[in-house]
Structure 1
Amino acid sequence: MTRQGIDYQAVFQGLPGMVALLTPDLVYADVNEDFLRNSGRSHEDLIGRYLFDVFPDNPNDPAATGARNLAASLQRVLATGERDTMALQRYDVRSLERPDQWEERYWSPINAPVMDADGRVVLLVHRVEEVTELIRARGRAGGGRARVLEAELYTRSRELQELNERLRQAHAREREVALALQDAMLPAPRLADHHRAAVRYQPAVGTLNVCGDWYDLVELPGHRMAVAVGDVVGHGLAAAGVMGQLRSALSAASRVSAGPARALEVLGLYARSVEGAESTTAVSVHVDWDTRMLTYSSAGHPPPALLHTDGTVVFLDQATDPPLGARPEHVAGPQAQVGFGDGDTLVLYTDGLIERRHEDIDTGLTRLGQALTAHRDLGSEDLADALLLDLLPAAGATDDTALVVIGL
């Protein structure tokens, strides 16, 4: 049977074990046959209904945490885009025969994301295995000892869930600190106001995804400016700290180097001494308004875009080296030039603006070129906002985005 000939709805219904598909609002979108059979519910009981309206916590048990723990797990998947395996849960279920009574149940859940082409979580796969009978069978076989083990297992599961919640809160605090650190280290947009420059930094969604993206604008002698963006591999405070070191080093090197290639060479040598700077990408463009020339060099970074007044877009991709420190021996970096006209626009960005999971980078570059052409009549500030609106997923990107738009 070919891949095209597979009936995936039939596959879903035939999956062994209880599997449900939930929307990001935690509403049932679909369930398989095992879910209906083992839960004792019908499609009408489930589809289109909020998860915790169907399966609330036992109101007669003040210590019940099943719904809270499940909600926390699902929110983690939505925020991180990563699978979450929960500890064994006691999650009582209302009796179908006697709605005023609750049946003691034990479950082993796994929650996983389903992504769209833009990296957004559009569905949640909620797979759950009921282990109530296993717990009871062990209790019958082992008597008091089994009940002790059952209680210990449940206690350990509760402790693990509480530990996960503390870790989530710690990651959230780390995200806040990393964002504050990035904000303090990135230059203020007013540094280049007279050059019609607009800068944007859009952090990724989720508590774990603050990255090391940066931008920099440096006034040079004469009617010139150095513009750069870069991207440190990694997340959180460590990436933000490395970003600060590299941005400062490139800013200083740009002031004394003969051109962008030499500035990136210096940065590459420096990056070898900074832990966590491996595989960092960066691109630098020197703008000379007197000669109407752009001189540029890239270290493994997506190419800047030059938008002409007639709507054509040229990507500056003729001077690209590997990421910083990637070469075993130091060599001179490439450098290229291109002219620009009055009213043209230079756009530098990090990969969060164009890259999507399971998609070739050329697709993202084409999308960027089309957006630039469509908005060619906008000024720098409005163009920056339009690009973020057009190119970033509505639910938020899973990678940071730094963006610089320079009116030439």
Structure 2
Amino acid sequence: MTGREIDYTAVYRASPNAVALLSPKFVYEDVNEAYLRVAGRRRDQLIGRHVFDVFPDNPDNPEDPDTSGVGSLRASLERVVESGERDAMALQRYDVELPGSPGRWEERYWAIINVPVRGPGGGVALIVHRVEEVTELVRATRGRDDRERSQVMQAELYSRAQELQEVNRRLRRAHAREREVALALQDAMLPAPRPFAGHQAAVRYRPATEALNVCGDWYDLVDLPGERVAVSVGDVVGHGLAAACVMGQLRSALSAASRVATGPAQSLDALGLYARSVDGAESATSVVAFLDWSTSSLTYSSAGHPPPALLAPDGSVRLLDQATDPPLGARLVPEPRPETTVPFTSGSLLVLYTDGLIERRGEDIDAGLARLTGSLARHRDADPEELADLLLAELLPSDGIVDDTALVVIRL
């Protein structure tokens, strides 16, 4: 022993661990500098205040209320006071309201240990409340798990990309014959659908008036195991061979992803990761629907694309707009996309399309959607081939098509 007296208050203040001292009533008695940093609060905002007044529960937290941050922490603190024993909590999601921004919450994850300090009478006089923020670790782990789950899809996408690289090289060498190449691309990339499970389907493609015969829109129908089919449409910004090359890569990649994905959202998750490595795929949009005749239901997910329309036999029209998300590659940090499942009546018609069918310059998109739903209701008795022709005739402008259009109509 050196005989030197240690200033434990100074040690507490300088400790790199974030520690607060709470009363048995869960009121802040003291906090160190590390705690102030992770809490994002000043000392005067904490001392003398109840911990759950400073950090209430997030009312928008989708977690079960029984496992909320407040409920779990309160239970731990009560156990410490009652038992006089330390309590190490399981990893907690405990959102924090941003200082100076009421109603705005930040998702945070914490590792927490609560330790009792006994007073002269033997009872709990203080609670040492040590917290460690692990939000970044949780996010990194979540990202790693997502990568592991997508290994099968990534391998398939890589194989498809290798095949398409040779197509792209040939396109560049054939620049002097752009029109002939465009015609060949249109036949190869957008073939007529094969019959599947006895269900009728019609597809149409119309390029912009001033573009080559192929542009950046695509459609695809993929047979899946059982009585299921994946159908998609998509849109790449731009016209001509450059847009066609990107369209071909994305269409093939999505076709591959749909064959191994559990649903449309997962197939778009994979396509979004792939699109980030494809020049010209920025802001591309797509919508995917998985149709299941064994359950008379369809599941869909949209990446910034206009909503599909479901036409019932009675003429009612439902726009499928409850599972929308930003375009492919729009987020710097990818997040799982939403998907929604809806039932359908036998004999209904599902219509997927690109924005050239409904959008007009200087006009709100709701006007175009109203034209579409009105045309569908009028022609509810038409078969898919007839309906596809009627929609193009009624909805495309008569003075020239300014944007290419892809259209798929399926009898359910």
Q: Which residue identity lines up with residue 269 of structure 1 in the other structure?
A: L
Distance 2:191 2:239 in 1: 20
How far has the Cα of 1:188 moved from its partner?
2.4
How far has the Cα of 1:176 moved from its partner?
4.8
Assess if the C-alpha contact under 8 Å between 1:292 and 1:340 holds in 2: yes
* 1:353 and 2:346 aligned: no
User: Which position in structure 1 is the counterpart of 2:342?
Assistant: 338
* 1:274 and 2:278 aligned: yes
Structure 2 counterpart of 1:321, from 321, 325, 329: 325
Distance 1:221 1:181 in 2: 29
* 1:365 and 2:369 aligned: yes
Q: Which residue identity lines up with residue 231 of structure 2 in the other structure?
A: V
Distance 1:387 1:179 in 2: 24
Distance 1:397 1:214 in 2: 17
* Partner secondary structure for residue 190 of structure 1: coil
User: Which position in structure 2 is the counterpart of 1:19?
Assistant: none
Distance 1:171 1:369 in 2: 41
CA deviation string 1:59-117 (max 9, x = no partner): xxxxxxxxxxxxxxxxxxxxxxxxxxxxxxxxxxxxxxxxxxxxxxxxxxxxxxxxxxx
Q: How does 1:137-286 map to 2 (within 5 A)?
A: 174-192=178-196, 194-207=198-211, 210-286=214-290
How far has the Cα of 1:175 moved from its partner?
4.6
Distance 1:191 1:402 in 2: 19
Distance 2:218 2:197 in 1: 18
Assess if the C-alpha contact under 8 Å between 2:186 and 2:214 holds in 1: no
Q: How does 1:64-143 map to 2 (within 5 A)?
A: none
Q: Which residue identity lines up with residue 228 of structure 2 in the other structure?
A: R
Structure 1 counterpart of 2:313, from 309, 315, 334: 309
- Number of residue pairs aligned between Structure 1 and Structure 2: 239
Q: How does 1:358-397 map to 2 (within 5 A)?
A: 358-397=362-401
How far has the Cα of 1:347 moved from its partner?
0.2
How far has the Cα of 1:370 moved from its partner?
0.2
Distance 1:184 1:349 in 2: 20
CA gap 1:222/1:208 in 2 versus in 1, 3 angstroms: closer
Assess if the C-alpha contact under 8 Å between 2:309 and 2:320 holds in 1: yes
Extract unaligned runs of 5+ from structure 1: 1-169
CA gap 1:205/1:335 in 2 versus in 1, 3 angstroms: same
Distance 1:326 1:259 in 2: 21
Assess if the C-alpha contact under 8 Å between 1:171 and 1:207 holds in 2: no
Distance 1:284 1:185 in 2: 17
Assess if the C-alpha contact under 8 Å between 1:210 and 1:399 holds in 2: no
User: Which position in structure 2 is the counterpart of 1:288?
Assistant: 292
User: Which position in structure 2 is the counterpart of 1:14?
Assistant: none
TM-score of the aligned structures, taking structure 1 as reference length: 0.56
CA deviation string 1:138-197 (max 9, x = no partner): xxxxxxxxxxxxxxxxxxxxxxxxxxxxxxxx9995355334313211232234483100
Extract unaligned runs of 5+ from structure 2: 1-173
* Partner secondary structure for residue 374 of structure 2: helix
Q: Which residue identity lines up with residue 206 of structure 1 in the other structure?
A: E
Distance 1:335 1:320 in 2: 8
CA gap 1:354/1:179 in 2 versus in 1, 3 angstroms: farther
Assess if the C-alpha contact under 8 Å between 2:211 and 2:239 holds in 1: no
Q: Which residue identity lines up with residue 246 of structure 1 in the other structure?
A: L
How far has the Cα of 1:208 moved from its partner?
6.1
CA gap 1:275/1:395 in 2 versus in 1, 3 angstroms: same
* Partner secondary structure for residue 267 of structure 2: helix
| Larger relative contact order (CA 8 Å, sep ≥ 6) | 1
Q: Which residue identity lines up with residue 294 of structure 2 in the other structure?
A: D
TM-score of the aligned structures, taking structure 2 as reference length: 0.56
CA deviation string 1:319-348 (max 9, x = no partner): 001000001101100000111001100000
Percent identity, aligned pairs only, is 71
Distance 1:261 1:226 in 2: 12
Of residues 391-400 and 309-318 in structure 1, the stretch that sits farther from structure 2 once superposed is 391-400
* Partner secondary structure for residue 314 of structure 2: coil
Assess if the C-alpha contact under 8 Å between 1:350 and 1:402 holds in 2: yes
* Partner secondary structure for residue 198 of structure 2: helix
